[in-house]
Amino acid sequence: MEKLNRLIVNGGVLSPGELKHICEVAEELGMNAISFGSRQDIIFPKDIDENKLSSYDTLKIITPLKDRIQNVVSSYVASDIFHNTSWLTSSRYLYVLEQFKYEPKLRINITDPKQRLVPLFTGNINFIASEYEDYWYLYVRLPKWRKNKMYPALVYSWDLHKVANVIEKILIEEPETIETVFELVNDAITTNNRTVDKPLEVPFHPFPYYEGMNRRGDKYWLGLYWRNNLYDTEFLKEMCDLCYENKIGKISITPWKSFIVKGIPVASKLDWEKLLGRFGINVRHSMLELNWHLPVNDDDAMSLKKYLVANFDQNDISTYGLSFGITNYISNPYHFTAIVIEKNRKPEAIGDFVIRDSYNLLHAKNFDPNTQEYIMYVQDVDKIELPGLLMELSKLYFEQLGTEKDTTTQKKEKKEVIEDEIYQCSECLTVYNKEYGDVTQHIAPNTPFEDLPDSYECSVCQAPKESFEKKVLVK
């Protein structure tokens, strides 16, 4: 990646015309294929003279080791085809993404917690849809922070870009706590926040099958994956022309080095099958192939994947719902697969001794990457041991499937039912929960409703304190 040029694709969404233009530029630069990155950007898989790029100023091309601009990741690609939050439509994503007109230096994720295709917490700034229309949880992990911290307010859709931009600007002050970040953001801009009244809940769903021609209502969607991550520009250009004929306005990139076309008319299904057949494209890879995340242009990682997949295939092992990542000691720590195969640094050789590569195996808690917790399964094992160990992990996953609740939750369930009091606005149903307080009005957590000032108003509709009614919350 340090030698390759990246092309920013905001939210992983682009029009057929834009993709066709990118393919034409790639061909002019001497390439016959493009690749996709894990942050839904496009990668030119070939070293290019920087002087040649200057004439393509309409494209946001990021040169290696020079520009630190990041692509905004979104789960637009999963909308309308996988589990989704009801208010978070494709058009809503596009409106939100359109606001990000500056060039972010921090990683920004804009995601739906009900889908599993796009990771939620791999950014520095992670906006995650809440159940309240147009309001988002925000989890922040600044470059020097070890963990994500929840922002103490829900952020309004049309404020996402403003909040993200301010967070980048306040980095110079090196904030150490999320409370400091909140204060600095509020000092800098006016936002339409909403109080947090419950923690984020991320439902567990197995990793989806995202390839092939799939019917959804009266349309089809097509997922395309090539194992070498080199997508032929001639094919892509013809595909873009077919999108134009079918009035398909958007193509979306996944973080798994693949892309999805939605909205294919039923009457055009045969035309698409002819196009795929003419270029000899296979759209029925095994799940063993699709659920891997590898570094771009890493021949060693690709070789290891092939070795492991071949072993799985020979032993008829199912990995449905699981995802695997291959990384090494110099890669960033933002894992987003259920199982991680981590290559260790080789010690310095002594004499003529041949030192073989060794690996660690980690798995996410409950095999759910959204827990953000990884457990070391084994350390310093040889390559030949990996297939058997991964098969053990696969069996362990299926044994616990459907029982994803952690031990803390199970212990709570065994205790007596706990009742807690909350207060709900009778006008708009906004909840005041003393556990969270109301940072939008500088009410600290653990402040009882009775202790709120008489001037307290609903943070959403400004109804007076008298409009709140006591409710019983069962925990």
pLDDT in tens, 308-366: 999 988 888 888 889 999 988 666 567 889 999 999 887 766 666 667 889 999 999 99
Q: Which residues pair with 252 in a beta bridge?
A: 13, 260
Main-chain phi, psi angles of 72, to 5 degrees = -80, 125
In 289-401 the beta strands, taken as DSSP E runs, fall at 292-293, 324-328, 339-343, 358-364, 374-382
* Amino acid residing at 129: A
Give the integer Cα–Cα distance in Å for 23 and 12.
16
CA distances from 29 to 41, 75, 158 (A): 18, 31, 38
Mean pLDDT check: name the lowest of 1-10, 22-31, 368-377. Answer: 1-10
Measure CA 343 to chain center: 23
Summarize pLDDT for 34-46 with one digit per residue, the tens: 999 989 999 987 7
- Does the model's pTM come out above 0.75? yes
Owner of token pair 């995202």: 210
Residues in the chain: 475
Alpha-carbon separation of residue 61 from 20, 284, 325 (angstroms): 16, 33, 27
Q: Where in the chain are the domains? A: 1-120+202-285, 289-407, 419-474
Phi/psi of residue 11, nearest 5 degrees: 70, 5
Q: d(Cα 115, Cα 81) in Å, to the nearest integer?
A: 10
**What pLDDT does 295 receive?**
81
Pick from 123-127, 325-329, 410-414 the range whose average pLDDT is largest: 123-127
Question: Do 1-120+202-285 and 419-474 fold alike per CATH?
Answer: no
Average pLDDT, the chain: 87
Q: What CATH architecture is 289-407?
A: 2-Layer Sandwich (3.30)
CATH class of the region 419-474 = mainly beta
For domain 1-120+202-285, the CATH class is alpha beta
More confident residue, 318 or 274: 274
Beta strands 219-225 and 212-216, pairing class: antiparallel
Name the β-bridge partners of 247. Answer: none
Q: What is the pLDDT of residues 276-306, one digit of tens each?
A: 999 999 888 888 888 898 887 788 888 999 9
The alpha carbon of 342 is separated from its chain's Cα centroid by a whole number of angstroms, namely 20
Tokens of 66: 């020079």
Q: CA angle at residue 160 from 113 to 186, to 5 degrees?
A: 120
Q: Has residue 406 got a pLDDT over 50? A: no
Strand 324-328, strand 292-293: pairing? parallel
